[in-house]
Amino acid sequence: MSLRSKIYGYSSVLFAVLLIAVNLSVYIVFERISISNEIKRVEAEAGSIVTGVRDSAESIPPDDLLRAYAPVEGMLRIVNEDGTSSDPVTTATEPQLNEKLSKLPYKYESQKKSEYTRVGQLEYVWVSVPVIWPDGEVVNVQVTESVADTENGLSVLRTVLVVVTIIALIPAIISSRILANRMTRPIQQMTRTMSDIQSSGQFKRLPLAAQSKDELSTMGQTFNRMMDLLESNFERQERFVSDASHELKTPLTIIESYASLLQRRGKERPEVFDEAVEAILSESIRMRGMTEQLLLLAKQPEQWNIQLEKLDITRLAQESTRAFREAYHREVYCDDPGSIWVISDESKLKQMLFILLDNARKYSEDAIEVRLEAKGQECRICIIDTGIGMREEELTKVFDRFYRVDPARTRSGGASGSGLGLSLAKDIAGAIGARVELKSAEGVGTEASIILPVSVQTTLFS
């Protein structure tokens, strides 16, 4: 059974059960109120009969007295204290019913008593009232009266409630089907979209109502976000495969060429051996770095395990420049403006700083300066070099993957690189809530800045 059929069936049955329960409750309550009112009415009428009978008992013969006060469609009987009874007076229109009424069992009741009883197919109210007779004897005046009118009214009510229940079920069933269709429509759309994705290989989204905020809309939004994530992961995977096959081809070709050269002439010419080993080692190191950067770029920022903590960027910059200076034996100066505190990820911030320092090293010969400043609501780490610089039109392209200032994408003049560093730095900055800016002039140098905005900066620490 489909989900739509289940919703349709369950909701229809539930509505029918509720409707029947409500109508049944209305009928039961109305029936009890009606019977209670009839009993009170007959009791009041019995009280009037008792008063009249007692007042006229001495002047009117008993049989005439009973006939005078007998209720319509009922019976009047006087029961003595010893259990004997006078002949009852019946007033039913049907002779057979009069016979049944007169044969009803009776007994003396010491207290007032009322009952709702059935004789044949008709309902009656029976009331017994003790009375002190003029001669001092205590007797029961027992009144039995038909409540056929009330029963007819209850029968009409039953018919009306049954008809109303049947009529009300029709729109209930129709609305249940509409509800089932409406509730399952997003699921059907999702199923069709998944089938389309499976058959076409394209990532598609569910159309959503702009103003809807129910659970089904939330499910659709979650599905669309999942599609966004899958599409992003797929694009990153495709880009990784394309980049790796494109960029690793050159170092592998160089390694293969020098290995072939070693095989042919390495044993005979030591200078060829040294050149080949150095080139193979250099390309292997470059290929390892490029692979690590490609793998990191292939990950979603959510998978980078960002851990934000309170950092003194002055201390972090000084430690990083000291390590860089010792590793590359380059002059790197870092100023000391005092502690500047921010909230960021230390390892990712260091990685960005090393990427920018490495770029400055590759494209400049002179000393590199690292300048720190806290201005307004922002903190800046500026890496300044006096190298070859860039033209203004190149500044918008340097963050593209594999873009290098050298249009031939060759490694000359010591300015070697894969063209992935600034692209990786930009992704890291987005992940930790920072941004990277570049200022450059050709032949003058470049200034690269890591900017921590207000959203990640702590303006006051105790």
Tens digit of each residue's pLDDT, the chain (462 residues)? 677 788 778 888 888 899 899 999 999 999 899 888 988 888 888 888 888 777 776 667 766 767 777 788 888 888 888 888 877 888 777 777 777 888 888 888 888 888 888 887 788 888 888 888 777 788 888 888 888 888 888 889 999 999 998 898 888 888 888 888 877 777 787 788 878 877 877 777 777 766 667 777 787 788 888 888 888 777 767 766 766 665 666 677 778 887 887 888 767 777 778 878 887 887 787 677 667 766 766 666 555 677 888 888 899 999 888 888 887 888 999 988 888 888 888 888 888 888 888 888 888 888 999 999 888 778 899 999 988 888 888 887 887 766 666 543 333 444 455 566 787 788 888 888 888 999 988 888 999 999 986 544 444 333
End-to-end CA distance of the chain, in Å? 65
The verdict on residue 274 lying in a domain is no
Q: Which two tokens stand for residue 139?
A: 């007797």
Place of tokens 């203004």: 392
The pLDDT score that the predictor gives to residue 294 is 67
The pLDDT score that the predictor gives to residue 456 is 45
- Kindly report the pTM of this predicted structure: 0.46
Q: Name the pairing type of β-strands 332-334 and 122-132.
A: unpaired
The pLDDT score that the predictor gives to residue 231 is 80
The verdict on residue 318 lying in a domain is yes
The pLDDT score that the predictor gives to residue 413 is 44
The pLDDT score that the predictor gives to residue 345 is 85
The CA distance from 294 to 239, in Å, is 9
The pLDDT score that the predictor gives to residue 412 is 41
The verdict on residue 332 lying in a domain is yes
Whose CA is closest to 94, among 114, 74, 64, 79?
Answer: 74
CATH number of the CATH domain containing 374: 3.30.565.10
Total domain count, the chain: 2
The verdict on residue 245 lying in a domain is no
| Residue 388 structural domain | 305-456
The verdict on residue 276 lying in a domain is no
The pLDDT score that the predictor gives to residue 370 is 93
User: The sheet that has 113-119: what strands, in order across it?
Assistant: 89-90, 74-79, 138-146, 122-132, 113-119
The verdict on residue 256 lying in a domain is no
The verdict on residue 405 lying in a domain is yes
The verdict on residue 323 lying in a domain is yes
